[in-house]
Structure 1
Amino acid sequence: MRKLIVTQWTSLDGISDARSMNKWWLPFDSPGRQKYIQDTINNCEIMLYGRKTYEMLHPYWSSFKDNEQGVADHLNNCKKYVVSANLTEARWANTTILGKDYIKEIVKIKREDGGYILVQGSASLIKPLLEAGQVDELKLLINPSIVGDGVKLFSNEVNCNLAFLDFKQFEKNVILVTYKPTKN
Structure 2
Amino acid sequence: MRKITAGLFISLDGVIGEPQDWHFPYFNDEMGAAVGAQLIGADTLLLGRNTYEGFADAWPEREAAGGEDAGMAAALGDARKIVVSHQDLELTWRNSQQLKGELVEAVTELKQQPGTTDIAMSGSPSIVVQLLAAGLIDELHLLVHPVVLRSGVRLFDEGESIPLRLISSQAFETGVLHLVYGPTAPPAPVSYDAVQGRLSQDEQ
- Please give the TM-score of this superposition, normalised by the length of structure 1: 0.91
SS of 2:167's equivalent in the other structure is strand
Give the 3 Å change call, closer, same or farther, for CA 80–147 of structure 1 in structure 2.
Answer: same
Specify which structure has the higher proportion of strand: 1
Unaligned runs of 5+ in 2: 187-204
Q: Unaligned 5+ residue runs, structure 1?
A: none
Q: How does 1:5-154 map to 2 (within 5 A)?
A: 5-18=5-18, 21-23=20-22, 25-63=23-61, 64-65=63-64, 66=66, 68-69=68-69, 70-114=71-115, 115-154=117-156
SS of 2:88's equivalent?
coil
SS class of match (1:53): helix
Q: CA deviation at 1:68?
A: 4.4
Q: CA 1:81 to 1:112, structure 2 compared with 1: closer, same or farther past 3 Å? A: same
Question: Could you tell me how far apart the structure 2 residues matched to 1:52 and 1:95 are?
Answer: 14
Shift of 1:128: 1.4
2:3 corresponds to = 3
Distance in 2 between the 1:156 and 1:98 partners? 27
Give the Å deviation of 1:173. Answer: 0.8
Provide the C-alpha distance between the structure 2 equivalents of 1:136 and 1:12, rounded to a whole number of angstroms. Answer: 23
Which residue of structure 2 aligns with residue 179 of structure 1?
Answer: 181
One-letter amino acid matched to 1:134: L
- Distance of 2:114 and 2:160 partners within structure 1: 29
Write out the 4+ residue segments of structure 1 that deviate beyond 4 Å after TM superposition. none
Greater C-alpha Rg: 2
Which TM-score applies when normalising by structure 2?
0.83
Which deviations, in whole Å up to 9, do the C-alpha atoms of 1:50-84 show, x marking residues without a partner? 11111111111122223742410111110010001
Structure 1 vs Structure 2 CA RMSD: 1.7
Q: How many residues align?
A: 182
Q: Secondary structure at the match of 1:96?
A: strand
